[in-house]
Structure formats: structure tokens, C-alpha cells
Amino acid sequence: MTRRVVVTGVGLVSALGVGTEQTWSGILSGKSGVSSITRFDTTGFSTTMAAEVKGFDPLQFIEKKELKKMGLFIQYALAATQGAVEQSGLRITPEVADRVGVYIGSGIGGFDVIEREHTALMQGGPRRISPFFIPATIVNLASGFVSIRWGAKGPNSATCTACSSSAHAVGDSYKLIARCDADAMICGGTEAAITPMGVGGFAAMRALSTRNEAPEKASRPFDRERDGFVIGEGAGILILEELGFALRRGAPILAEVVGYGMSGDAYHITSPSEDADGAVRAMRNALADAKVLPEQVGYINAHGTSTPYNDRLETLAIKKVFGEHARRLAVSSTKSMTGHLLGGAGGLEAGLAVLALRDQILPPTTNYEYPDPDCDLDYVPNQARRAEFEYALSNSFGFGGTNASLLFKRYAG
């Protein structure tokens, strides 16, 4: 028996705000979270901007003595989880603890800790390495700390599939509940890779925008003048529950999860194939999983990185999957405002897709100024727009040719 799965909580931390409604209001107002980097000296860097989380006080969410045990990506995960749990009203009592799990993805993990501890090693030798170095760094400790903090004893896992990490975490959690392996899951993703090595590494690949003189204009998905993505940070956590479990405790239901599609490109370490085959199959698999027709989908939160290649091929994939309906549905990339959260992107954007369904409003693609003939869909340019739609799709595609699509439905009881 396949069980129905609903979303009862969304917790967001982004460059637009620490908290779900702060981030969401920033999205709807078209606010840019991109500015010059303040974390480190960018002298000599070709890219000097990022979408940093501003005003984050970890002590609002974490005891001071615990901070030394966790990298920033873990801190963001805990903050976002707190927001999601509070919104959902989920209480993990001993009676339900072994039926509540945690599944949080990250593409990079604790880059900040790795760089700091490497400096300590080089300057003071191995005795200067913190005993908390490993647990503060490895990807699965975001899930680990969350499970310990809230007492969730069900499935505990993590994904590290580049920019698809947290979309896979949400999709896998949906399947765990649907097949009765859990009744509720805390899931999503987190990332904190705005470090010298993080920025320098992506810049060396020539993946980042170099529009340093106008940071707020740098992330411009689907626009003809796009020149690369802007690295962002933060976390997006969802509370998924089996419908009956949620109804019995009177939980607020924000949306229903109805489809999950995965695929592999088997083509290139960083680039999708020219026919966009992997993205096509991921979206088709999500629709097939939900038994939903393409023309029923009203909105796509696109992967939309603001790189020339990705945006063109995602547009092609959407046209292949949706046919003539591609001209009627709305597509937007919220990365234009939040930057690209890498492994945390899918969690953040799944949360935004859920909020779009809840409020029946389409998030905009900002900085859309110059139409690209290869990107000719309705990208909700520059301003949010009211609309009535029942299904929203969220796409995430990662290095190594790993793809995930999540399909959400407006909950109607």
C-alpha cells in the first residue's frame, strides 16, 4: 500500500533572511541577497560576491558549548529545522520517536572547518587539530545533530549528490513514508561553502559570475546576459508526514508530495548532454510517479543556475516534457535572489514551491532584462504574480549527471 505524504512544516535560512517568512517575503518582493563577500579577503579572486546569510546568531538556536562541535552548515540545518518543527507543531515523544526520521543532504559539508583546521595543522602541527574536526565536517552530521537534538530515532541518513543532494533527501524521505518505513521525516539540505576554497574552486572552473561591480544583478537566470552562478548558503528543511499521522495530531498541512523522479546523465562530470535527456527523464519520472499529466502542472521552480549551458538545456527539457503546455506554465528561478545553495538548493527551493502552492503566488525570476531566443518560456520576470495552480514541480540537477524532480500538489483535504 502506498500512503499519502504531506508537508506540515518548512524551515528556511537564506541570504534573504533567517526564517521561513523572512525568506519568503524577500522572494515575493524580488529582493536580492547577493552582495560583496565579507567572510574573507577577496583580493586576487575573479569573483568577489556571494549570497551570504546575514545576521545569523547561532546562539538563538544552539547552546554555546555545542558550537565548537559543528561546522556552519550544521548550524544552518539546526536553525532551519527549528523553524520547520515549530511551524508543524511536531512533538517527537518516546511513543513515536522510532517512526520519525531525519534525512538531510549537503554537497560540500564543512569546508569552513576543513580550511580552519588545515591552517591549524600547518601552523602548529597535528596536535593543534580539534578533536571535533571530523564530526564538525562530515555531511551526515547535519542529520546526526538534528536527530540527537529532537530525539528522532527513525531512519537517519544523508545524501551527497552535488546540487541534487537535498532534493534527493526530500524525495527519498517521501518514499520512506509512502512505503511505511517511517511516519514522519525531517528532511532537506544545508550548505555553507562561501569560503576561500569554495569560491576559488568554482571560480577556477569558470562557473561563477564575475559581475562584481553590480552584485545584485549578477544572478540572472534565463537572461541573455547571464555569465555564471552566484554561490549562496543556508538551509531548507521540510517536515513530511503520512497524511493520517498529520491529521490525527491536527497538523497544519501546507501541500502534498505526490511525485519524485530521478535520473543519471552518464555523460560528463559537470555538463548535461545537448539533448537534455537526464532532465527530461527526471521530470517525466516524477509525473509518472504521481500519475499526473504534463498539462496539469502550473509552476516549475527551475534549477535555473544562471549559467549559459544549464538554463538553455533546462528550457529545452521543459519543452520536451510539456510540449505545447510549456508555453502556458510558469517557470521561475529563485536563485536569482538567493544565489545557488549547491547541495542545499533543492531543500530551499522545494520549500519555496510548497509556499507558492500554499499562497497561490508565483515567485519571480529577477534580473530578467534581455530575452534569450533559446530561453523563451514564461519565467515570471521580475515580479511575483498571483495565479491558480494545483501542481508545482521543483528541479535540481547536479555535477556528475545526477538529477531529481519533486512534484507537489495543493492540499484540498
Question: Which residues have a catalytic role annotated?
Answer: 163, 303, 340
Cell of 111: 569546508
Residue for grid cell 516549475: 300
| Ramachandran area for residue 372 (φ above 0: left; ψ -120 to 50: alpha; else beta) | beta
Cell of 21: 517568512
The CB-side HSE value for 143 (13 A sphere, CA atoms) comes to: 28
Spatial neighbors of 21 by CB under 8 A, at least 6 apart, are none
Cell of 390: 494545483
**Residue 293 buriedness (CB in 10 A; 0-12 / 13-18 / 19+):** exposed
Residue for grid cell 521543459: 318
Cell of 313: 538545456
CA separation, residue 305 to residues 208, 231, 270, 278, 281 (Å): 10, 10, 13, 16, 19
Spatial neighbors of 125 by CB under 8 A, at least 6 apart, are none
Q: Are 5 and 253 in contact (CB under 8 A)?
A: no
Helical H segments across 262-343, by residue range: 277-290, 308-322, 335-338
Closest C-alpha among 364, 335, 352, 365 to residue 393: 352
Closest C-alpha among 350, 344, 389 to residue 75: 344
CB count within 10 Å of CB 264 equals 13
Residue for grid cell 506540515: 8
